[in-house]
Every structure is written in C-alpha cells, then in structure tokens.
Structure 1
Amino acid sequence: MVTLTRWGDAAPGAAAVAPWPARLCGRAMRCSSACRGAAVSLRLAGGEVHGAATHPDLALLAAVQEETGEGPCAEATRSLRTVVAADLVAEPRWPVFRVAALERGLRSCAAVPVAAEGAVMTVTLYAFRPWRLAAAEAEVVRGLAAEAVAGLVGDGARAAAEAEAAQLRAAMVSRAVIDQALGIVMHLLDCDAADAFGVLRVLSQRTNRKLNAVAARLVRERGRGATRELRRLLGEVRDGR
C-alpha cells in the first residue's frame, strides 16, 4: 500500500501534487533486499511539502521530522547529502525521531536527496534490522529520484504553459468581442472609437457588469433597442471631458 499525504495534515490520505512520489516509493524499495518500507518527501520551491509512504507509520515518521526538523530525511533535505543510520539503537542523533522509529520496530534507515529547479525530493528507506545502504544502491535510488523530479518539473512546466495559452485565448476572444461592440456603437452613434469605448465603460459601471460582458450582450443583440440609451451615455461621456 502507498499512502499519499501532505505531511502537515492531521492524518495521511490527502492527495499529493502528482503520482510520481507514490510510484517512486515502490521502485525505491526494490533497490535493496533489506529495505522493508520507503517514504518520499517533496519540498517545493515555495516551501510546501508533499509526500508518499508505503505504510502509514512511515508517513507519521515523516510528519515528526517535518515538525521537529530532526531525522534522516530532514537532515538530507537540508544538506543535500545521503544520510545513513545503520542502527537506530546506537544512534545519538535525532532523539525524538529515534524513539518514534524504534517504537515502530524500525532499526535502520537511509535518506537520499535530489535537488532540481528549486525543489528537493528525498527518498528515505527503512529496515527492521541493522543495515547500511550500499553506495551502488544509493546511486540507483538517486537516479530514480532524479527521474521523478524531472517528471514533476516537466508536468509543472506543461501545466503553466497550458494555463498561459488558455489565458491568451480568453484574452483574444474578449478583445475581439469588445472590438465588435465598439464597431456597433460607432455605427449607431456615428462617433469615433474613443467615444465608443467611453460609452461601453460607463455602461459597464452603471450595470455593474464586466466590460466584456456588456460588449458580448451588445454584439449578441446587434445593438437593437439600445440606441437611445447609448446616445444618452455618449452625451455624458462628452460632457465629462
């Protein structure tokens, strides 16, 4: 089982930013035959932390580290170096984490961090007996984490590009509608573009509706029945100059 969580939540189960951390947990566990559980922590550039774990107890240990600032994952995230605790019984570091881990039957752990584009992803592996992650195994875990970070960065870049494109399309549509409405007002009132825009702006303020909504209605109705009101507003625009 893989538990997805935002480490600051009251209980595991909140959706993570992407499926990458969950997939990484399972893949990282298989890098060492002694490993019996894994947790992934992803700290984004803005400071928000998300993660995944293969067991709820490991999600709770991740939350303990986030709250106290101590533990293998917390230290690896800060130092960007692999942190190993071969036997937690004899481990002098991280007293709060050490007790919490031993209470859950864990004896050893190793945390491997990877940083990219302002984000840090740290994979922490756990075992029920004294154990030290081999250098070759750590490199495999690091490669998997780097692949996951690259995927997250790529997903974020694509999402940002798609959002920007959608905004540009919406702006172009809105601008086209406003231009059409200006043409209608200029034709009905025999005025220039500046006066026509002033009429639309005043109409927007009087009706408490956005300019593009006012323009869309004028275009939809082709200005029918609105000439008298538009002419009155034109007078106000010109008088206000």
Structure 2
Amino acid sequence: MDTVTDGAAVAPRLVLLGRRAMRCAAGCRGASVFLRCPGGEGHSASSHPDLAVLAALQEETGEGPGVDAARSLRTVGAVDLVADTRWPDFRIAALERGLRACAAVPVAAGGVPVTVTLYAFRPWRPTAAAREAVGVLAEETAGGLLRERARTGAEAEAEQLRTAMATRAVIDQAIGIVTHLLDCDPGRAFDVLRVLSQRTNRKLSAVAAQIVRAKGRGGTRELRRLLAELP
C-alpha cells in the first residue's frame, strides 16, 4: 500500500480517528491508534505524548492490550490497572502516567488492521455501544485509506502509460528520420539510435528527442558512421 505507507498522508487520518473515538466513549480521556499496512509497516498516532510512549512500548515488548486485541480481533481492556497484572511493563508505565483503565478496539478492513486504544484516569469500561461506534469509525478510516491508495495507484499507472506512449512516439519519429537520412530499414535505424544512446550515456528517449528536434540536421555524418559500424 504505497499511499498508506506514506506517514504524512496516514497520520492526519489516524489523529482524526483518535479524536472521534474519544468523543464516542464517555469517560475516555485519551486515545492512541495503530494501523498495520499490508507490507508490514506500522503507523500510529496518539492524543498525548504519554500515550505514544505506551504504544511504542507495546510494539517493543509485544505485550499490551493493543497487541492482544490485534492478535485476537476482539476488544481487550483493563477496568482497573491497579488490580490487572496481565501486562507488567505496560501496566507500570500506564500507572506511572496516572492511567487506571484502558480498552483496545480492533478491526480489520480490507486486510488493514487498525486498533484504537482508549484510556481513562479512573476505573472504567466503555459501553458496548461505544465500542461498536469506535469500530465503525476505524473501519471507515481504513476503508478511506484503501480507496485513496487505489485512486493514487490508478493515477500513477495512467501517468506511466502516458509517459511510455509519448516516449514511444518520439522514438518512432526518430526512427523514421534516421531511416530517411541513411536510406536503411527501421530495424537498422533503431540499432543506430541504440548505439548512439550507449556511447553518449544518454537515455534512448533523450537521443530520439534530440534528433526529432533537429529533424536530423547536423548529425548525418555521425549516424552514417554508426551505421557502418553495425554488424
């Protein structure tokens, strides 16, 4: 996913998702979002630097509510981290930052897993309706990124095709000019252009464009010499 792997394009979407998720869950005081691209690269965004630290810690240790939720594709949380000891490193880091509860909501849309982790300063559990709403928002975000990727990919492919067609047209024109100047067949004319490209260390399209611009004037002698050298 080329556009999804572009952090500059993905980050604003994840920030917006986090803000919207917080508004869906009464009692939530912070959120972090993690998205895993099809190629394996991860992107994250958090509403506060402390939450970014917790997200990075989970990635580093492979433990935490977000990691477990992503693996199981089920909501994983802790109503009170003072009593819940499932993730020692994460738990200590969260409590040190004044956090008491968390809930990680995962979705997988079009092969793109997204996990939204919500945090609270007091013992807390998001309602089923809140979890469902957060999941819908995450699916919408992943779907939007996939559609953007598809659109960008189609535009890039179309541009490559246009460039290839324009390049082919210039080369064909140059072959026509060389064929006329040297009174040879198109295959031999193409070989002359290819050798000229190699010896001048320029792209074939650039050599062809120069010949087309000059309409073959000024280079006939060199072209004849190259033709004579061909096997």
TM-score, normalised via structure 2 length: 0.95
What does residue range 40-119 of structure 1 map to in structure 2 within 5 Å? 40-119=33-112
Q: Distance in 1 between matches of 2:9 and 2:34?
A: 10
Q: 1:168 to 1:225 in 2, by over 3 A?
A: same
Structure 1: runs of 5 or more not aligned: 1-5, 7-13
The amino acid that maps onto 1:146 is E
Q: Distance in 2 between matches of 1:99 and 1:60?
A: 12
Q: 1:105 to 1:18 in 2, by over 3 A?
A: closer
Q: SS of the counterpart of 2:43?
A: strand
Aligned with 1:133 (options 122, 126, 138): 126
Q: SS of the counterpart of 2:105?
A: strand
Q: Distance in 2 between matches of 1:20 and 1:191?
A: 60
Q: Distance in 2 between matches of 1:172 and 1:151?
A: 32
Aligned with 1:231 (options 196, 217, 224): 224
Q: SS of the counterpart of 1:38?
A: strand
Percent identity, please: 68
Deviation at 1:18, TM superposition (A): 4.5
Q: Distance in 1 between matches of 2:71 and 2:157?
A: 33
Q: Note the aligned Cα RMSD (angstroms).
A: 1.3
Contact persistence 1:18–1:152 (CA under 8 A): no
Aligned to 1:3: none
Q: SS of the counterpart of 1:165?
A: helix
1:24 maps to 2:17 = yes
What does residue range 162-177 of structure 1 map to in structure 2 within 5 Å? 162-177=155-170
Q: Distance in 2 between matches of 1:81 and 1:32?
A: 17
Deviation at 1:16, TM superposition (A): 5.7
Instruction: Flag as ranges the 4+ runs of structure 1 deviating above 3 A.
Output: none
The amino acid that maps onto 2:186 is A
Superposed CA deviations along residues 194-237 of structure 1, whole A, max 9, x for unmatched, are: 00000000000110111001001111111111111101111112
Q: Distance in 2 between matches of 1:190 and 1:133?
A: 82
Structure 2: runs of 5 or more not aligned: none
Aligned with 2:208 (options 207, 215, 240): 215
Count of residue pairs brought into register by the alignment: 226
Superposed CA deviations along residues 152-187 of structure 1, whole A, max 9, x for unmatched, are: 101111111111111111101110110010010011
The amino acid that maps onto 2:29 is R
Q: Distance in 1 between matches of 2:67 and 2:152?
A: 29
1:203 maps to 2:192 = no
Aligned with 1:154 (options 144, 147, 150): 147
Contact persistence 2:106–2:116 (CA under 8 A): yes
Contact persistence 1:22–1:53 (CA under 8 A): yes
Contact persistence 2:74–2:105 (CA under 8 A): yes
TM-score, normalised via structure 1 length: 0.91
Q: Distance in 2 between matches of 1:113 and 1:73?
A: 8
Q: Distance in 2 between matches of 1:139 and 1:199?
A: 67
Q: SS of the counterpart of 1:17?
A: helix
**Greater relative contact order (Cα < 8 A, sep 6+):** 2
Deviation at 1:19, TM superposition (A): 2.1
Q: Distance in 2 between matches of 1:22 and 1:165?
A: 31
The amino acid that maps onto 2:102 is C
Deviation at 1:15, TM superposition (A): 4.0
Contact persistence 1:84–1:133 (CA under 8 A): no
